[in-house]
Amino acid sequence: MEYAIIETGGKQYRVSPGMLISVDNLSDQEKGDISFDRVLLYVKDSEVNLGKPYLKGFVVKAKLIKNFKGVKIRVARFKAKSRYRKVRGHRQSLSEVQIEKIEKTPKERQI
């Protein structure tokens, strides 16, 4: 089993090839290819690579499927005995991403 833990938008996600995930809004473009280079952990069978904090040379390739808004949440403020009530709504902008592959770039030659 192959998977990686990536960081994007201040959050961490466990991803594997072929997986669909929803992350914070990435860009205004509707479709296209994306690469995540902040890889924290890579596991393939018994091989485990752990970054400190990130792994160098590992890239997760993905495809942007669509941008959308999440479900609406209601935020309310209330003060007792003064009839003060305020309700606001919020919908987070999200992007749906399909993970295509996790690849290791070849090491650069040292001079």
Total domain count, the chain: 1
Residue 75 belongs to a domain: yes
Whole-angstrom CA distances from 46 to 16, 35, 100, 107 are: 15, 25, 22, 21
Q: What is the pLDDT of residues 12-51, one digit of tens each?
A: 999 999 999 999 998 777 788 999 999 999 999 999 999 9
Domain housing 16 = 2-104
Residue 111 belongs to a domain: no
Residue 38 belongs to a domain: yes
Q: What is the pLDDT of residues 54-91, one digit of tens each?
A: 999 999 999 999 999 999 999 999 999 999 999 999 99
**pLDDT in the model for residue 29:** 75
**pLDDT in the model for residue 108:** 57
Q: Residue 81 and residue 88: Cα distance in Å, rounded? A: 21
The yes-or-no verdict on residue 109 having pLDDT over 90 is: no
Residue 109 belongs to a domain: no
Residue 58 belongs to a domain: yes
Residue 18 belongs to a domain: yes
Name the more confident of 30 and 2. 2
